Amino acid sequence: MTIQGWAEIALTISLAVGLGWPLGAYMARVWQGQATWPDPVLKPAGRLFGRWAGVDPEKGQNWRAYAFSLLAFSAAAFLFLFAILRLQGHLPFNPQGFAGMSPDLAFNTAISFVTNTNWQFYSGESAASNFAQMAGLAVQNFASAAAGIAVAAALARAFAANRGESLGNFWTDLYRITFYILLPFSVLIALALVALGVPQSLLANVDAHTLEGAKQTITLAPVASQEAIKQLGTNGGGIFNANSSHPFENPGAISNLIEMAAMNMLGFACVVAFGRVTGLRKEARALVVVMAIMVSGAASAIYVAESQPTPALVAAHVQTTPNMEGKEVRFGAPSTAVWAAMTTGASDGGINGWHESFTPAGGGVAMFMIQLAEILPGGVGSGLYGIIVMALVAVFVAGLMVGRTPEYLGKKIEAREMKLAMLAFLILTASILGFAAVAAVLPMALKTVSTTGPHGLSEILYAYSSATGNNGSAFGGLGGSPYWNTTMGIAMALGRFGYALPVLAIAGGLAAKPKLTPTAGTLPTHGALFVGLLIGVILILGGLQYFPAQALGPIVEQFQMLALTKS
């Protein structure tokens, strides 16, 4: 560990938070339909789109209609992408000549990108054509991110409403979020990446001659455009199997910093926008502080774990540097640690180091960040509504302690809201632990797991945590098979819609309630007391759910590693 390493972590997280503030102010105007700089071009186009689609942009929807629109749009997107992946061998822009994916792999991939998970049981450079990458996967990178932000916007309007019913219009939100936020900022990031050396090409490959005179074939693709929305929309799916450790996706230190900031800044921006829409900026700042503290703590824990020498070399009495197994020497331990914390704290899933090669403690922290529903700072949209649900639990716990009906942001939190919040938690927990428990004893699943013992359990647990948490990063060690493709596809759908639908139901109930004026008995939700309470609830709730499973995986493996060091 060095001062430079700690400064690198602090700079990266501070940059993401700092960029999120002005972006959040702009995003709030987009959510509210207020005047913005792209209006002269995009407003007429939006009206034309509305007429073509038969959507009245002024007509609001209650939570049921909003939820139905979300499900209908996602189902259509799934079918569209599934068809592209199955038929890519017959579609244009396929210079590599790739055949269509198998039904189970196409199912898994389509669900993955539609749910903003972007789990990949394939190598992008050897399985997906340029057409599939651009017209299929990249489009869903925009669409799935916009759908998540739309749910967050609906929740913000619910808290701002006073005996209202409408949460806004899903189709209008989808258009505005895509074209006003995701598209222009993705273009800017893509241009910056091209300037830094990231390729943007429709060629299949290029031949290079090495210093020894040998011929080397280098795969090309439209990388920069996909990389930009991959990070900004917390998608994480890479064109190359090595993801952001590949020099074509992440050429150097500057691109590394840009990509890390991009993957978290929209998560923080959603919270800032929430505070402006509701008129409760201090309360929103408290949520940003919680997110920043938690992602900083995770990055610090991973950095400490990965700064230790490799145990086997210590046991052999060999002096060595920090654990560089699975890490890019261009980035080192600090950059890899903060990337791992930011990508698992969000629903990004992009990696610049191999998580399976982390020490058990480092890998366990990354896994735990996903298991906390990825709310720190979370995915675009999903991070906001995830931490709001946690905040509802926190004020409910505080209300029980003082014997008052809990309130949050001027709304009474009653039995209906708490039942729905618990439903969302239980769906995630049941999916992660239920699927992992079955896979840990089912021969059909175990035959494609490369490792036995605690590390093998960690591989299984991480896979279903990543799928249900809509993260997409992999611990490694799993071979693709119809069983894994199917069960993980189901887990991804549960993680996305099993959480978003209860949140929309909560929003519908809150919107109909009157706004309350704070009284002397109202719990302040903007100060250090509430920040500490919320962090405690997040850690305790996550610990109670996942500590037993973690104890059988990364925790026991860490003790085994320490025993090796002492031997």
Buried b (16+ CB within 10 A) or exposed e, 145-177: bbbbbbbbbbbbbbbbbeebebbbbbbbbbbbb
pLDDT score recorded for residue 169? 92
Residue 80 pLDDT exceeds 80: yes
Report, as an integer, the average pLDDT of 306-316: 76
Structural contact between residues 198 and 251, judged by C-beta atoms closer than 8 angstroms: yes
Confidence of residue 190 (pLDDT cuts 50, 70, 90): very high
* Helix (H/G/I), strand (E/B), else coil: 449: strand
CA atoms within a 13 Å half-sphere pointing along the CA-CB vector of 156: 33
DSSP labels, 387-424:
HHHHHHHHHHHHHHHHTS--EETTEE--HHHHHHHHHH
Lowest mean pLDDT: which of 317-326, 361-370, 476-485?
Answer: 317-326
Residue 523 pLDDT exceeds 70: yes
DSSP state of 524: P
Structural contact between residues 102 and 456, judged by C-beta atoms closer than 8 angstroms: no
Confidence of residue 347 (pLDDT cuts 50, 70, 90): confident
Residue 264 pLDDT exceeds 60: yes
Tally of CB atoms within 10 A around 266: 33
Mention every residue, 6+ apart, whose C-beta is less than 8 A from residue 294: 345, 372, 376, 535, 538
Q: What is the pTM of this model?
A: 0.93
Residues 448-473 have pLDDT tens digits of 888 888 988 999 999 999 999 998 88
Q: Which residue has the higher pLDDT, 525 or 312?
A: 525
Structural contact between residues 383 and 373, judged by C-beta atoms closer than 8 angstroms: no
% of the chain at pLDDT higher than 70: 98
Alpha helices in 440-481 (DSSP H): 443-446, 453-468
Rounded Cα–Cα distance for residues 361 and 367 (Å)? 10
Rounded Cα–Cα distance for residues 227 and 245 (Å)? 12
Amino acid at 414: E
Residue 494 φ then ψ, to 5°: -65, -40
Rounded Cα–Cα distance for residues 567 and 563 (Å)? 6
Residue 262 pLDDT exceeds 80: yes
Rounded Cα–Cα distance for residues 175 and 144 (Å)? 12
Report, as an integer, the average pLDDT of 501-527: 89
Is the omega angle on the peptide bond into residue 377 within 30 degrees of 0, that is, cis? yes
Alpha helices in 198-324 (DSSP H): 223-232, 253-278, 281-306, 311-315
Confidence of residue 120 (pLDDT cuts 50, 70, 90): confident
Report, as an integer, the average pLDDT of 528-543: 90
Q: Which residue has the higher pLDDT, 534 or 308?
A: 534
pLDDT score recorded for residue 355? 85
Q: Which single residue is written with the structure tokens 């704290």?
A: 345
pLDDT score recorded for residue 392? 93
Lowest mean pLDDT: which of 189-198, 216-225, 257-266?
Answer: 216-225
Report, as an integer, the average pLDDT of 64-85: 95
Q: Which residue has the higher pLDDT, 199 or 480?
A: 199
pLDDT score recorded for residue 503? 95
pLDDT score recorded for residue 379? 83
User: What length is written for the chain?
Assistant: 567
CA-to-CA dists, residue 235 to 100, 105, 120, 125, 145, angstroms: 23, 18, 11, 17, 8
Residues 21-30 have pLDDT tens digits of 999 999 999 9
**Straight-line distance from the first to the last Cα atom of the chain, in angstroms, rounded to the nearest whole number:** 24
Residue 117 pLDDT exceeds 60: yes
Report, as an integer, the average pLDDT of 331-344: 90
* Helix (H/G/I), strand (E/B), else coil: 16: helix
Confidence of residue 107 (pLDDT cuts 50, 70, 90): very high
Confidence of residue 567 (pLDDT cuts 50, 70, 90): low
Residue 56 pLDDT exceeds 60: yes
Q: Nearest 10 degrees: CA dihedral of 369, 371, 377, 383?
A: 170
pLDDT score recorded for residue 342? 92
